[in-house]
Amino acid sequence: MQVVLDYLKHNQPRFVAELCELLRFPSVSAQPQHKKDLRNCAEWLVKHCRQIGLEAKICPTAGHPIVLAKTPREKKTRKPHYMVYGHYDVQPPEPLDLWHTPPFEPRIEGRSLFARGSTDNKGQFFAHLAAVEAYLQTGTPLPCDLTFVIEGEEEVGSANLAKFLKSHRNELKCDAVVVSDTGIPDADHPALTYALRGIIAFEITLRGPSRDLHSGIFGGAVDNPAMALSQLLGKLRDKNGRIAIPGFYDDVAPLTTYERKEFARLPTNDAELQKLLGVKRLFGERGFTPTEQRSARPTFEINGLTSGYQGQGSKTIVPAWARTKITCRLVPDQNPARIRKAVCNHLKKICPPSVRLEIEAGHGAEAYLVSPTSAHAQAALRALRQAFGREPVLMREGGSIPIVNDFKKVLGADTLLLGLGLPEDNAHSPNEKFDLDCFENGQRMSALLWRELLH
């Protein structure tokens, strides 16, 4: 193992130079004029993968191509198989005038490498390529088979990935997927993200009169749909911040003492969070810390309200209707279909008879969880500890990463989210950067991970 780690240490300057080459491709998937740049980027990757000893090819899709690369398989033994997922497409760089140097001309300043795509996601998946190169080029036997799937459409919704996974189901079937495309709290706190929240969306409309009514002539004798909606919505959260829908919490897997202890180790600070968000004070479900509230507890969030007149001045009407857009963040083991039913049933039950209720509900996405005490998770934590020389933390992510559900559904595999991004890396923003210490530690983490996963 030491020879692998020595190889990595020795080759840092070249790895950085190669990453800079990769960052020069303006592989902006959202912008049609960059179609060729994405293709060129994918071809560069295939060439690079082959150079370091992988079997690689371009897989065309209906959109931008996917790069598929594998460690050479040994015929005689069936080794454990892991998949590494990454994406070579990047966010649009606009607004360009906010960049200190051009987004596709990588610039190094101290331990920061500035370029669009540096942290999201070229730098992060390149760390895994460097690690496998170290095994292959030093002749160190890999304890497992590895497959790299590096797509070109993550920033535009991964529209063709699920199809690709299905059509390559047999060769991609694996014991786990490893993704480095999330963040860590700071350079001293390497992290395993072991859970994601799910989601379900609703659009609720209350209809009153057949048209907006003169509030002088008719106001007082008909219900106001905007008031009815306010009262309806107001009843759905109690004063302790708890969602007041029967059955909503039924399937929520309680946080374990271990998880809550681990969360308490996260370098977070309520006062700083409050300042960052610009709120007068934090508010959430009583009995849980802000970290728990925003990552491990479900929400019922109003995303939008619409009714009546919204322009300048006043318009004296009883509006014909009022509408709200809602998304619920879900946590393990809530089932979107059951939540949909609970919400719809409750709304129907409490909606006053003076208005008509219409509900549109999406299908939703389930939350995701790899037990932090599972063998995979514990292996990842050991690899992080050794690679970073720090005690890693356990995180839940409050958002959703839909592809993780695809990996589970199509390949039957859990995903280990081992992000290398820092909060100050400006992902999706001007002056995106990647920390070269995170890059190097990430390579070591990857190299160590394959060994630890087998312990």
DSSP-derived pairing of the beta strands 198-207 and 321-330? antiparallel
CB of 200 to a second copy, least distance (A): 10
User: Is 420 within 8 Å of 176 (Cβ atoms)?
Assistant: no
- Check binding of 170 to a second copy (CB under 8 A): no
Residue 92 or 290 with smaller CB distance to a second copy: 290
Segment near a second copy (CB under 8 A), from 34-42, 164-172, 323-331, 378-386?
323-331
Q: Give the interface size with a second copy as a residue count (CB under 8 A).
A: 79
Instruction: Tell me which amino acid residue 76 is.
Output: K
User: Is 248 within 8 Å of 235 (Cβ atoms)?
Assistant: no
Q: Of 2, 277, 349, 363, which one interacts with a second copy (CB under 8 A)?
A: 277
Residue 121 or 307 with smaller CB distance to a second copy: 307
CB of 380 to a second copy, least distance (A): 22
Q: Of 72, 267, 362, 412, which one interacts with a second copy (CB under 8 A)?
A: 362
Instruction: Tell me which amino acid residue 100 is.
Output: H
**Tokens matching residue 36:** 């060729």
Segment near a second copy (CB under 8 A), from 79-87, 168-176, 296-304, 407-415?
296-304
Site for a second copy, residues 176 to 235, rule: CB under 8 A = 197, 199, 201, 203, 208-211, 213-224, 226-227, 229-235
CB of 299 to a second copy, least distance (A): 5
Site for a second copy, residues 393 to 452, rule: CB under 8 A = 397-400
CB of 325 to a second copy, least distance (A): 6
Q: Of 185, 308, 402, 430, which one interacts with a second copy (CB under 8 A)?
A: 308
Q: Of 297, 376, 444, 451, which one interacts with a second copy (CB under 8 A)?
A: 297
Residue 20 or 320 with smaller CB distance to a second copy: 320
Which has the closest alpha carbon to 171: 410, 450, 402, 405?
A: 410
Which has the closest alpha carbon to 404: 368, 362, 379?
A: 368
User: Is 204 within 8 Å of 357 (Cβ atoms)?
Assistant: yes
Residue 208 or 392 with smaller CB distance to a second copy: 208
Collapsed DSSP state (helix, strand, coil) of residue 256 = coil
Tell the burial category of 148 from Cβ atoms under 10 Å away from its Cβ (0-12, 13-18, 19+).
buried
Collapsed DSSP state (helix, strand, coil) of residue 86 = strand
Instruction: Quote the DSSP letter at residue 317.
Output: E
CB 366: neighbour CB atoms within 10 A? Answer: 23
CB of 392 to a second copy, least distance (A): 20
Residue 306 or 374 with smaller CB distance to a second copy: 306
- Residue 339 CA to residue 342 CA, distance in Å, equals 5
